[in-house]
Amino acid sequence: MQELLDKVARVAVQAGEIALACSKEARVKADGSPITQADLEANAFITQALMQISPYQVCSEEAVLGYEARKDLEYFWLVDPLDGTKDFAANLSGWSINIALIHHSKPILGVVYAPALKELYVGLDGFGARSYEVDSTTLQSFRLESGVRLCGDISARVKQAGSELESSLLACDSVFHSSALTQEFIAHYGLESIKLGSSLKFCALARGEADIYPRFNGTKEWDTAASQVIVEQSGGAVISVQTGKPLSYNKKHFANDYFVAFAANQVGGKIYEDVCSSRLPLACKASFYGLVVWVAGLAGSGKSTICKELYIRLRDSGLSVVYLDGDELRDVLGAYSYDKQGRISVAKKRADLARLLSRQGVITIVSTISMFDEIYQYNREHFPNYLEVYISCAYEELIRRDQKQLYSKALKGELPNVVGVDIDYDEPKAHLQIDNTTLGGIDEKVGQILAAIQSK
């Protein structure tokens, strides 16, 4: 495996040289993220090179390997051909080439190369983590064993800062992707901060140049896999705020949990224990930040009543929250048909609006029928912090309630396109199901949702 690491390191350096020669002009992809010619050319080179030096398949940000194709793979490559495209396009130096080898759900080999800085970082189970100064002109003489071993050594910082270092820890923050919650975390623990681009924040932890890297907004598996190996092999850790455990990989979707990365000197410390034990203050809890609560149920199930009470409870707790009612949103979003395809189209628009609010840290509660597998899958792929709630109700009770006379008209043939009558629906495999056949007990039902949020 060490021989493979050597080859991958050389691939990353060569890909970096290709990227350096490309234009900095960026365009916007369909998902709203930027892309440059450097992303595409580096990706093509890396993919071809990895296939030549190993039998493993390649999954890249620019050429995604679907879940069905990779879910049973023992090994596969996970690549971000240009991490920090905004830094690259702005002619900053904080961008990198990231290549990781995934073994089942764990990254075991990682290479990060920052071409503009000529900095190479590698990590491998059993080999440790090391750094190098290298580019295409020195690649011929490159040897893995010659690197500086990384162990989160803070001695240089101690010598420079003296006793001041003991009283203030240093956190890494993103140049372009900081968030209100990240700032809340930094302020709560009284941390100093520095801004770095791409995976260089992780590398700063491994080098002992910083202590903590909190990340409370969206990242994908290819953003973190290579860097996680380097941090872990230097004695540090990358911990999910949701689970209190290291980030895992090869999930059905690529969205990471929010996380906090720790240098070796912080593993076992107070903040580390707070994150691992879910003892973060409410305002810092990733389980609330940018959360989308998607509440589905047939007409008359009582989902709106429950959603309104949930909104009040969260608002009164001082959290930033909005409630989006499905019927009201349909009026705002324009004329969509009520047939199945029209319902799916308007549901995706609701989801896109919720995602926009989520990115700004707002808790978004959506009350909607939208009971189709295509929507559940769409949400799971697009929301990094998502809770799906199904409000069920016995069909006979729905018929009895029928305040809008939807069912009575549909059953008489007077009203087409009613979900549950002439449009079949997919019962969701929700995170939480609440039986609302019997009305009342709303405090308990809302309490179930709050408990589900807290346990995420």
Nearest to 304 by CA among 218, 236, 213, 404: 404
d(CA 229, CA 236): 9
Q: Which two tokens stand for residue 232?
A: 């872990």
| Residues in binding site | 61, 80, 82-85, 223
Provide the strand spans (E) within 291-426: 292-296, 321-325, 363-368, 386-392
CA dihedral 434, 437, 440, 446 (to 10 degrees): 10
Q: Which two tokens stand for residue 204?
A: 């700063």
Residue 344, phi then psi, degrees to nearest 5: -65, -40
The stretches of 214-276 forming alpha helices (DSSP H) are 221-233, 270-276
Q: Which two tokens stand for residue 165?
A: 């270092």
Nearest to 234 by CA among 157, 172, 149: 149
Nearest to 258 by CA among 238, 230, 233, 234: 238
Element (H, E) at 130: strand 128-133
| Residues in binding site for Mg(2+) | 61, 80, 82-83, 223
Triad 140, 142, 145: Cα angle to 5°: 155
| Residues in binding site for substrate | 61, 82-85, 223
Termini Cα distance of the chain = 36
With a CB cutoff of 8 Å and minimum separation 6, the contacts of 72 are none
